[in-house]
Amino acid sequence: PSFGVAKAGEQPRVFFAGLPMGHEFTSLILALLQVSGYAPKVSDEVLNQIKGLNLKANFDVFVSLSCHNCPDVVQALNLIAIYNPNTTATMIDGSFFQDEVEQRKIMAVPMVFQDNEHIGQGRMTLEEIVAKLDTNSAEKDAAALNAKDAFDVLVIGGGPAGATAAIYAARKGINTGIVAERFGGQVMDTMDIENFTSVQKTQGPKFAAEMEAHVREYDVDIMNLQRVSKIKGANQTANGLVEVELENGAKLQSKTVILSTGARWREMNVPGEQEYRTRGVAYCPHCDGPLFKGKRVAVIGGGNSGVEAAIDLAGIVEHVTLVEFDTKLRADQVLQNKLHSLPNTTVIMNALSTEVLGDGSQVTGLKYKDRATDEEHV
């Protein structure tokens, strides 16, 4: 099933291929509202940038309905299609269109194509997507950043630590800025959060949005979608200020810099991992799990995250093999009990993952070594 959304008498530019339920139900509601003239919660600057995009394009975004990262991308592309008449956007539920998923070798979502050419995957904000499409955006961003006055405190990193540091500084009346590759950090990719004191349970994207709203209550200059490439200490500059150079060439100055660069997903650091990232190597079982329906998969790691991933995947895939380096699992006992109760799971312990195998286009297997015997297995 597929359908388009448009005002009466107009040709649709926003399409849904599949049923937009689950996390995508909000995408449908927002599309209906925005097509009807409801103003989006986006700055005039970004809307004008969308209207001024000099391109004619059809965007396809493949999703799974359990993916909590997908709606942001779907809603961003829908907004572009609504405000730029030379574009269309189609959400495609991979579970309904398995043949196309196989044909395009999609093994991670969200996956975005522009006129059948792959242009991005994973969580992306509207600003990130517009920056990709606007060829002059990097130069304009650099010019605007270079024009900023020196800060009293410049925080590098937009996760919980960086946000907290910025709030504390701003409350003291200190001129404060935040430079972040993605405000919210790794929290944005976390499905459920149950260990933040005073909040019994929340979801990562919701937590990050509330955190950003809290920061914006104060006079904090948030410079999002920026990566730092170099820092010069105050003793290395002529004016005695710390100089922070960004990847786009812009330079910021501050009396003090706070580093809160946070964490990333743990990687195996073995041959094949990066080569097959998004082509069989995945880090989000909720997002990408449905794409492996009926297949045999391996999960690396026996901590809470690994065991939870194995449990979730066991309800979707044919079989899950959990590979753990240690001689015992480190996950909470209740999770271990659940894992061992499932009929389609196997646990291999005392094993070192050595290589992700593939055929050049996608993953075909995992090579590991038995640490007790040094024997290699696939």
Instruction: Tell me: do 44 and 156 sit in the same domain.
Output: no
Binned at pLDDT 50, 70 and 90, residue 255 comes out as: very high
Instruction: Tell whether the model's pLDDT for residue 191 goes beyond 80.
Output: no
Structure-token pair, residue 21: 């339920």
Q: What is the pLDDT of residues 122-154, one digit of tens each?
A: 888 899 899 889 888 778 889 999 999 999 999
Instruction: Tell me: do 177 and 255 sit in the same domain.
Output: yes
Letter string b/e over residues 6-38, b meaning 16 or more CB atoms within 10 A of that residue's CB: eeeeeeebbbbbbbbebbbeebbebbeebbeee
In this predicted structure, what is the pLDDT of residue 140?
A: 83
Instruction: Tell me: do 150 and 226 sit in the same domain.
Output: yes
Domain annotation covers residue 97 = yes
In this predicted structure, what is the pLDDT of residue 173?
A: 95
Q: What is the CATH number of the domain that holds 324?
A: 3.50.50.60
Domain that residue 68 falls in: 2-135
Number of domain units in the chain: 3
In this predicted structure, what is the pLDDT of residue 95?
A: 86
What percentage of the chain's residues is helix, strand, coil (to nearest 5)? 30, 30, 40
Which of 122, 262, 240, 249 is closest to 178 using CA atoms?
262
Do strands 319-323 and 296-300 pair parallel, antiparallel, or not at all (unpaired)?
parallel
Helices and strands per DSSP (H, E), number in the chain: 11, 20
The count of other CB atoms within 10 Å of the CB of residue 85 is: 12
In this predicted structure, what is the pLDDT of residue 267?
A: 86
Domain annotation covers residue 264 = no
Binned at pLDDT 50, 70 and 90, residue 371 comes out as: very high
Mean pLDDT for all residues in the chain: 92
In this predicted structure, what is the pLDDT of residue 187?
A: 84
Instruction: Tell me: do 18 and 79 sit in the same domain.
Output: yes
Structure-token pair, residue 290: 């449905």
For the segment 105-113, the average pLDDT, to the nearest whole number, is 89
* Strands, E assignment, the chain: 2-5, 14-17, 57-63, 87-93, 111-114, 117-121, 151-156, 176-179, 192-193, 202-203, 220-223, 228-232, 242-246, 251-259, 296-300, 319-323, 345-348, 351-358, 363-370, 376-377
Instruction: Tell whether the model's pLDDT for residue 192 goes beyond 80.
Output: no
Residue that terminates a domain, selected from 243, 259, 275: 259
Instruction: Tell whether the model's pLDDT for residue 98 goes beyond 80.
Output: yes
Report the DSSP beta bridge partners of residue 246.
Answer: 228
Order of strands, sheet of 345-348, starting from the edge strand that comes earlier in the sequence: 296-300, 319-323, 345-348
d(CA 39, CA 35): 9
Domain annotation covers residue 228 = yes
In this predicted structure, what is the pLDDT of residue 111?
A: 92
Residue that terminates a domain, selected from 82, 105, 135: 135
Q: What is the pLDDT of residues 262-308, one digit of tens each?
A: 877 788 999 999 999 888 998 888 778 888 888 999 999 999 989 99
In this predicted structure, what is the pLDDT of residue 28?
A: 97
Determine contact, residues 11/19, Cβ cutoff 8 Å. Answer: no
Q: What is the CATH number of the domain that holds 117?
A: 3.40.30.80
Residue that terminates a domain, selected from 108, 135, 162: 135
Instruction: Tell me: do 114 and 188 sit in the same domain.
Output: no
Domain annotation covers residue 267 = no
Domain annotation covers residue 310 = yes
Instruction: Tell me: do 44 and 128 sit in the same domain.
Output: yes
Domain annotation covers residue 274 = no
Instruction: Tell me: do 151 and 251 sit in the same domain.
Output: yes
Instruction: Tell me: do 126 and 44 sit in the same domain.
Output: yes
What percent of the chain is modeled with pLDDT above 70? 100
d(CA 58, CA 92): 13
Instruction: Tell me: do 143 and 221 sit in the same domain.
Output: yes
For the segment 12-25, the average pLDDT, to the nearest whole number, is 94
Domain annotation covers residue 265 = no
Using DSSP's 3-state secondary structure scheme, residue 265 falls into: coil
For the segment 305-329, the average pLDDT, to the nearest whole number, is 94
Structure-token pair, residue 251: 């330079």
